[in-house]
Amino acid sequence: MFSKHLFKTYLKTNILGQKIIYKNKTSSTNTDAKEYLYNKNFHGSIFVSDNQYNGRGRRGSSWESIPHKSLTFSLLLHPEIKLKNIGLIPLAIGIGIVKGILISTSISAGLKWPNDIIINNKKIAGIMTEIVDYNNTQYIIIGAGINILTSPEIMNYKTCSLLNYKDNLNYENVLINFIESFCNEYKIMTSKNYDEIFGF
């Protein structure tokens, strides 16, 4: 089970992930992020659950998550970049997950554009991006799921989990490594050094 206390203790960022809303069970972390936005509007908040039972994928498809075996989370952002460059944010998220997996397991994953993270041609994580207009301001909610201890069976789709490649995994450490990796990519992006992002 995910520990909010351990996550907060070891996370080394100034903004991203510092406000964490954890639920043992939720319909969708993206929905949680939207509801929070309407009430408090906190850039960099992260929403985490061990059990997401009604997640969504691209084009209205469902996101399958096995309770207490995967890590599902959403990040709420108020990006400081022009609208035409917002498409870089999912890319930076994907790169952050790839780098987070490498740091956590020493395994090299790949980014299959636009929303899949793969290892050996098997899906290990997915990304879902939503743009929300609120009070004449655009916010981005990035939802992601990473297979930690096992992977769902998906027809015509090969999947895997981090446990296939490394024992003694720590949920908090995997998420921290992602957040800190994405934080670096986000800083590069907001400083307009786009070539550094594409050169990962």
**In the 3-class helix/strand/coil scheme, how is the chain assigned residue by residue?**
CCCHHHHHHHCCCCCCCCCEEEECCECCHHHHHHHHHHHCCCCCCEEEECCECCEECHHHCEECCCCCCEEEEEEEECCCCCHHHCCHHHHHHHHHHHHHHHHHHCCCCEEECCCEEEECCEEEEEEEEEEEEECCEEEEEEEEEEECCCCCCECCECECCHHHCCCCCCHHHHHHHHHHHHHHHHHHHHCCCHHHHHCC
Residue range 178-197, pLDDT digits in tens: 999 999 988 888 776 655 55
Strands 70-77 and 46-49: antiparallel
All domains in the chain, ordered by first residue:
4-191 (3.30.930.10)
- pLDDT at position 98 is 96
Q: What is residue 119's predicted lDDT score, i.e. its pLDDT?
A: 96
Q: Radius of gyration (Cα) for the chain, nearest Å? A: 16
Task: Identify the residue with better confidence: 189 or 94.
Answer: 94
Instruction: Specify the pTM.
Output: 0.89
Region 93-109: mean pLDDT is: 94
When mean pLDDT is compared across 16-25, 54-63, 136-145, 181-190, the lowest value belongs to 54-63
Percent pLDDT > 70 in the chain is: 88
**Does pLDDT of 198 surpass 60?**
no
